[in-house]
Structure 1
Amino acid sequence: MISYDFTSETYKDLLFDRSYSQPAPGWIDGVYYARKPVIHAHDLNKKNIFECRFLEEDSGSLNGDVATIGHFEYYEGAFLRVATLASNYKLTMTLKNPTNKPVQLDIIVNGLAEKRIELASNELKTVISDVYLTQRSLELTFKPVNDTSEFIKVELDKFSLSPLSIEDSNLPKIYIASDSTAQTYNDQQYPQHGWGQCLYYYLFNNRSAVIENDPNSSYSLAHCYISNDLTIVNKSIGARSSKSFIKEGKLKELVKTLAPKDYLLIQFGDNDATAIRPLRYVNPTDFIKYIDQYVVSALDRKAIPVLITPPPRYNFIDKQHAKISFNDYRQKLIEYAQEKNIAYIDLGKIGSEYLSQIGPAKSRGLFMKLSYGQYPNFPEGLEDATHFRKLGAMKMAAIVAQQLHEIDGQINYYPVPVLKTLPKPSHITAQLVNQKNAEHVLLKWDAVAQADGYIISKNLGRNNTSEILVGENYYNDFPQEGQESEINYLIYAYRDNIVSQPAGIKFNHSFKNLVSMENKILGINLYEIDATTVSDKISFSVRFNPNKKVSKYQVVVFEADNGQQLVLDHFSKDQINDLHSYTINKAADWYVYIKGFSDQDELFQSDNIKIIW
């Protein structure tokens, strides 16, 4: 137990004063630098009285791009710092209001609000709160609730920390702290998947799970996958970095239920690298300072941390070699793991080697690179080089499961059977469909067990052949101008580099009503929509398909009630695969669309899509 009586002793080594008197350096070479604190010993003339206030400011935009604005918060004044374990404690304090005015304040522990209290004039009150630490120290200060810019006074008379007991889990648990590449997705986002929602398939002996919302989570994306002898708790959430996952209190929430012998899988790096998003960005060196909080949070609770390098993106150096993604962050993570003797899984390297093995064409089938008309949730298709569709998430989950088994043989791993051949697709049908006054061919066939997907070869006439990969046992083929009336289809099943013999079908029709895509920007999709982290704001990310004629794009929002329009972003065609994330004030009906312009200033535009929150 840690206990201090500040009415009888000064404890000058524990009390400090902090100020942020100098303005933020701001944007320098594409990176935002926030205010730096000046910390010095507490003024002993003030004894145990804390004078505190709260400052907040926006970062300002980078090159006029409102999406780059971040909201920063600073706690000024006195604070207490005590060395602890990164564990669970009961915090007991005796506080006094030394003024003749009532005060309402938040108790701030390690930068996060723990409890709100009111103190009448000259009132003495004992406050008790359970705290869940994610670093090996406790830093205590106070935040005024009403006029945050004015200093409040609080007298800290007594302070104590007593450890809370952490009982073993009834069943071992595997927790996952990560981003959108591991997150659980719902049916409205199919076929997008994160590897965290597929992990049970390789760790549970019957390949099935009871799937529930995590009852201990404040956000609906967290899910539990339950079997008779193991539970996986996927706490992953999109648009988070190692820093923002902590700053938003999500790691603190996770460790409340983390128990001895549980596993904590930690994978970040994708969002940490986005310098134009200052609330997420962490340079590779500081990245490890945040990763260390995850590791010590597990170790001090006698849980087992496992670090995972960022998974690969769809990025090929040439046709034989996929590039390792976010390699600066990967290298720092591996160096840290080896120095601290922490288990790690090099998903970035193993995953990119798998992409290299199957090549660029089949690798498209792992990512959200979707053809026009194939998925109801993405009717115009999609080009996304970062996020996985189900097959990609399954392949990444298989790597994680196998590596976990190698780290700890008590974790069972159930691989899929090894195949030497695949049967060819059977019972193929071809049907003419007239939908929204546009004709297309619907191909269907019987699913091939254990196939990853299907290759459809289409003879376009004039010795012209195209190939496309699909994940399901159907394909909507939308003919284009100039296509001959007779079409020859060959359909192959494949798994990794095993390809079946083809099955064929012919279709003959003179297509008249074709889909026109000339002046459209297709595939607009909103994701990572968040209306809870900041009470009066909505944040979201947008992705869409490039149009070959467009050289520059705009992201535009408009409010349905009054027609107000706001251009959120401008970027060139070379930046289309970058992250496009934005934050706007809440309104009842915001819509988003994409504008595009050719070099001749010809206008292209997407459909409008509503932000649903």
Structure 2
Amino acid sequence: MKRIFVSTFLLVVSLVLTKAQTFKFDFSSNKETPEGFIKITPESLFNNALGYGYDFQQPAWDGKSNKPFFFSVNVPDGNYKVTVAIGSKNSAGSTTVRGESRRLFIENLDTRKGELRTETFTINKRNTVIKGNKKVKIKAREKGKPNWDDKLTFEFNGDAPRISSLVIEKVDDVPTVFLCGNSTVVDNDREPWASWGQMITRFFDEKVCIANHAESGLSANSFIYGFRLEKVLSQMKKGDYLLVEFGHNDQKQKGPGKGAYYSFAYYIKQFIDETRMRGGYPVLVTPTRRRQYDKDGKIKDTHEDYPAAIREIAAREGIPVIDLQDMTKVLCEAMGQEESKHLYVHYPARTYPGQNRELKDNTHFNPFGAYEVAKCVIEGMKKAELPIIKNLRADYKGFDPAKPDKYEDFKWNLSPFSEVVKPDGN
């Protein structure tokens, strides 16, 4: 009888959570739980019947441990305003909050013993379903990634992560910035890989939501043929934005009808037209530079006609262009040939588990490089006078790629998971 009661209770809780628009969780050590909140204990482990709990087989948080931990809740697709009370009455803390596949939201927030600081941000959640039985054609490497499941997942990291409460509320009235692109944009869920799409979330307040649909190895046409654009359009509303960065993989396509001013321009036009049909604002982004220097210490042009074609399409269509091709050139040349390794995945052997060989990748960024390039994107948004720049966080002070941040000053607590295989594309 007891077993039947427990099963029935879990089913009721799961159904309530699935239909709810607001989810409230209490992580504090207080004996009394605030009205409307669900008390979270070390025994609150995620399963689909319960619909929430500590996740990814990491140790459940006991309120004292300084190790990172994950917490997930099943929610429908959409944008969610998150309000998190950071801190503890029992100890000081330093907390970083990331969401889904390592999207950065709250960075190294220090709290004194007994201090609680309330922070808010908006996060996008999606799964592969478009409509009915139609789904996004994801790659094998994407299966199991937090970005594509039915859960909204949070990673609480930092020197001493401390949280007291978590409130998740569905919102439909904030502009969404959809990102379409390749491995230089994608949310990487494993160290040491990172891209600007998962760092730019750090710099906007809760009145803007970033939805990153980029994936490694994709070109403009494979993004469309994989139904990824269709998935984006199924969630797009009037006033949303679409940022499109391709070129890295497109330039490898050879043959009749291929090329920057031919097939590529044709596919990019589809992104523009489909966005405009829905009342959205398309923005083109030129590809980031590869770390390849000439004998004079200048960054090489390796993208052929693609950056010029993107600028020409943007001018013809009367839409903004964010010129990462130029800004990342300035960034890399300002740092110099040796120091610029700190932007990309360059690590000696045995830096990460299972890494038996040196990592030398001159295309894909590490967290510091992704952070710097995200700032370049924001400066491009400012130059284009996109209205959403009014929603930059107050602590964003501006950025000049000719005067990059110091690598030594960048603090990044590693996520528990790493991978030595580089993302698709080059």
Q: TM-score range by the shorter chain?
A: 0.5 to 0.7
Which residue identity lines up with residue 226 of structure 2 in the other structure?
A: E
Q: Say whether the 8 Å CA contact 1:243–1:282 is kept in structure 2.
A: no
Q: Of 377, 399, 402, which residue of structure 1 is paired with 2:376?
A: 399
CA distance in 1, matches of 2:131, 2:259: 29
1:385 lines up with 2:367 in the alignment: no
Q: Counterpart in 2 of 1:303?
A: 280
Q: Counterpart in 2 of 1:351?
A: 328
1:292 lines up with 2:269 in the alignment: yes
1:333 lines up with 2:324 in the alignment: no
Q: How many angstroms does 1:320 deviate by?
A: 3.5
Which residue identity lines up with residue 308 of structure 2 in the other structure?
A: Q
Q: Counterpart in 1 of 2:338?
A: 361
Q: Say whether the 8 Å CA contact 1:324–1:349 is kept in structure 2.
A: no
1:258 lines up with 2:236 in the alignment: yes
Residues 311 and 377 of structure 1: CA distance in aligned 2, closer, same or farther (over 3 Å): farther
Residues 393 and 325 of structure 1: CA distance in aligned 2, closer, same or farther (over 3 Å): farther
Q: Of 160, 171, 183, which residue of structure 1 is paired with 2:174?
A: 171
Q: Say whether the 8 Å CA contact 1:175–1:235 is kept in structure 2.
A: yes
Write out aligned runs for 1:85-164 (5 A).
none
CA distance in 1, matches of 2:351, 2:422: 19
Q: Which deviations, in whole Å up to 9, do the C-alpha atoms of 1:442-500 show, x marking residues without a partner?
A: xxxxxxxx74238xxxxxxxxxxxxxxx98799xxxxxxxxxxxxxxxxxxxxxxxxxx
Q: Of 207, 211, 214, which residue of structure 2 is paired with 1:229?
A: 207
Q: Counterpart in 1 of 2:259?
A: 283
CA distance in 2, matches of 1:271, 1:384: 16
Q: How many angstroms does 1:362 deviate by?
A: 1.2
CA distance in 2, matches of 1:374, 1:115: 45
Q: Counterpart in 2 of 1:38?
A: none
Q: Say whether the 8 Å CA contact 1:375–1:381 is kept in structure 2.
A: no
Paired residues, number: 247
Structure 1 residue ranges without an equivalent (≥5): 1-112, 117-128, 130-167, 205-227, 420-449, 455-469, 475-523, 529-540, 542-577, 580-613
Structure 2 residue ranges without an equivalent (≥5): 1-129, 135-170
Give the match's secondary structure for 1:322: coil
Residues 301 and 319 of structure 1: CA distance in aligned 2, closer, same or farther (over 3 Å): same
1:321 lines up with 2:298 in the alignment: yes
Residues 184 and 114 of structure 1: CA distance in aligned 2, closer, same or farther (over 3 Å): closer
Q: Say whether the 8 Å CA contact 1:316–1:323 is kept in structure 2.
A: yes
Give the match's secondary structure for 1:176: strand
Residues 473 and 253 of structure 1: CA distance in aligned 2, closer, same or farther (over 3 Å): closer
Residues 389 and 418 of structure 1: CA distance in aligned 2, closer, same or farther (over 3 Å): closer
Residues 238 and 417 of structure 1: CA distance in aligned 2, closer, same or farther (over 3 Å): closer
Give the match's secondary structure for 2:242: strand
RMSD over aligned CA atoms reads: 3.2
Greater relative contact order structure (CA < 8 Å, 6+ sep): 2
Superposed structure 1 runs of 4+ greater than 6 Å apart: 113-116, 470-474
Residues 371 and 416 of structure 1: CA distance in aligned 2, closer, same or farther (over 3 Å): farther
Structure 1 or 2: more helix by fraction: 2
Q: How many angstroms does 1:374 deviate by?
A: 2.0
Q: Which has the larger radius of gyration?
A: 1
Q: Say whether the 8 Å CA contact 2:298–2:333 is kept in structure 1.
A: yes
Q: Say whether the 8 Å CA contact 1:306–1:344 is kept in structure 2.
A: yes
Q: How many angstroms does 1:325 deviate by?
A: 3.5
Q: Counterpart in 2 of 1:203?
A: 204
When normalised by structure 2's length, the TM-score is: 0.53
Residues 115 and 355 of structure 1: CA distance in aligned 2, closer, same or farther (over 3 Å): same
Residues 410 and 328 of structure 1: CA distance in aligned 2, closer, same or farther (over 3 Å): same
When normalised by structure 1's length, the TM-score is: 0.37
Which residue identity lines up with residue 260 of structure 2 in the other structure?
A: P
Q: Counterpart in 1 of 2:40?
A: none
Q: How many angstroms does 1:381 deviate by?
A: 2.5
Give the match's secondary structure for 1:174: strand
Q: Counterpart in 2 of 1:95?
A: none
Q: How many angstroms does 1:395 deviate by?
A: 1.0
Give the match's secondary structure for 1:363: helix
Q: Of 427, 431, 453, which residue of structure 1 is paired with 2:408?
A: 453
Structure 1 or 2: more strand by fraction: 1
Q: Say whether the 8 Å CA contact 1:184–1:194 is kept in structure 2.
A: yes
1:526 lines up with 2:417 in the alignment: no
Q: Which deviations, in whole Å up to 9, do the C-alpha atoms of 1:171-211 show, x marking residues without a partner?
A: 1111000111111111xx2011011000112223xxxxxxx
Q: Say whether the 8 Å CA contact 1:169–1:260 is kept in structure 2.
A: no
Q: Which deviations, in whole Å up to 9, do the C-alpha atoms of 1:221-255 show, x marking residues without a partner?
A: xxxxxxx3111000011111001111111111111
Residues 417 and 176 of structure 1: CA distance in aligned 2, closer, same or farther (over 3 Å): closer
Q: How many angstroms does 1:306 deviate by?
A: 0.5
